[in-house]
Amino acid sequence: MSRSGIKNIAKRSRSLGDHRNLRSWGVLLVMIIALSLLSDRFLTLPNIKNILLQISVTLCLSVGMTLVILSGGIDLSVGAILALGGAIAAGLLKTGLDIPGTDLHMQVTVSGAILAALLVGTICGWINGITITRLQLPPFIATLAMLSIARGLTMLWTKGFPITALGPEFGYIGTGTPLGIPMPVWISLIIASVFHVIVTRTPFGRYIYAVGGNERAAVLTGLNVERIKLCVYLIAGVLSGVAGLIVTARLDAADPNAGLGYELDSIAAVVIGGTSLSGGRGSVLGTVLGCLIIGVLNSGLFLLNVSPFWQQVIKGVVILVAVALDRWGSRRA
């Protein structure tokens, strides 16, 4: 297969993703109309802002998850990396860092804490990529192990207690409202826009589709499949660190249990947005739609006073239907 063949495969994959996006747009529109009729509080500016704010963390994680799933993998560790990155940032900001073997104590600024969280995400993502590409472990097993490692390290770092009172400067990441829009919404919007361009307009994006669509053909073409996979897991780790910063700043605390279940929410958003779990088909735009559908659904169920237990059941049914439709569409294709 030639490089032009890879380009054609990526183009067809994005075309299939566009058809799925139309379906997702239709579902979202129907949900908005129905919930607007059922609740007069749904289609209000405060509620719209709240929906966008609530999905901002999931969107950061889901963008990275989209790249991973497009390449034919899965990442179960994003929620745990979120917690670890947020805890490291909060701990360094709160108490600084003692240099081992010396009497030196280093105080960490807000910028330093942000860099620390991103570095944690980078390292965890790199380890995921290395264990999958070099050690040939299945992505499910490798990232499940990282989930356990990151959770354990978070508990060790925090000693099981939240780290609180991080200051207004750091809190601005989660509570600031430049131009009247919450900062987490700005961050997630920028991330989604950047990676939409990367996936649709760059060779790296085409290579991701090629690897997920037919890994053996990608190898025969001369693509460095290991490097591409390593990059997508590294990106997922970095974006998990960003999500950890947002959650920690919003709460003004690093909760050792932060991010529990977020990996499932991010996978759900990706699948509902039309990305195939078998890899090679989907888009970042579809993931944005998936996050919006989940956010609108959660908001509507809350406004209608639906029991939280039933909310979980309904979300599970939505995910099941989305995966079934994906399989049905794949067989037709």
Contact 315, 297 (CB under 8 A): yes
Locate the DSSP E strands across the chain.
97-98, 105-106, 163-164, 253-254
What is the number of other CB atoms lying within 10 angstroms of the CB of residue 198? 17
What kind of architecture, by CATH, is found in domain 3-328?
Orthogonal Bundle (1.10)
Q: Tens-of-pLDDT digits for all 333 residues of the chain?
A: 455 555 555 555 555 555 566 677 877 888 899 989 988 889 899 999 999 999 999 999 999 999 999 999 999 999 999 999 999 999 999 888 777 767 777 788 999 999 999 999 999 999 999 999 999 999 999 999 999 999 999 999 999 899 998 999 999 999 999 998 999 999 999 999 999 999 999 999 999 999 998 888 888 888 999 999 999 999 999 999 999 999 999 999 999 999 998 998 899 899 888 888 888 888 999 999 999 999 999 999 999 898 888 888 887 887 787 777 666 765 665
Contact 107, 143 (CB under 8 A): no
Contact 151, 258 (CB under 8 A): no
Long-range contacts formed by 316-322: CB under 8 A, 24+ apart: 318/268, 318/272, 318/293, 318/294, 319/268, 319/271, 319/272, 322/268, 322/271, 322/272
Residue 314: predicted pLDDT: 84
Dihedral (C-alpha) 112, 116, 117, 122: value to the nearest 10 degrees? 140
Scan for tokens 């909760």, then name that residue: 255
The token duo for 23 is 């379906």
Burial of 150 (0-12, 13-18, 19+ CB in 10 A): buried
Dihedrals phi, psi of 74, to nearest 5 degrees: -155, 150
Domain edges within the chain: 3-328
The answer to whether the predicted template modeling score (pTM) of the entire model surpasses 0.85 is: yes
Give the Cα-Cα-Cα angle 130, 132, 133 (nearest 5 degrees).
65
* Distance set, CA 294 to CA 151, 267, 270 (Å): 26, 11, 11
* Distance set, CA 328 to CA 12, 266, 274, 315, 323 (Å): 18, 22, 12, 20, 9
- Which residues fall within 8 angstroms of residue 202, CB to CB, at 6 or more apart? none
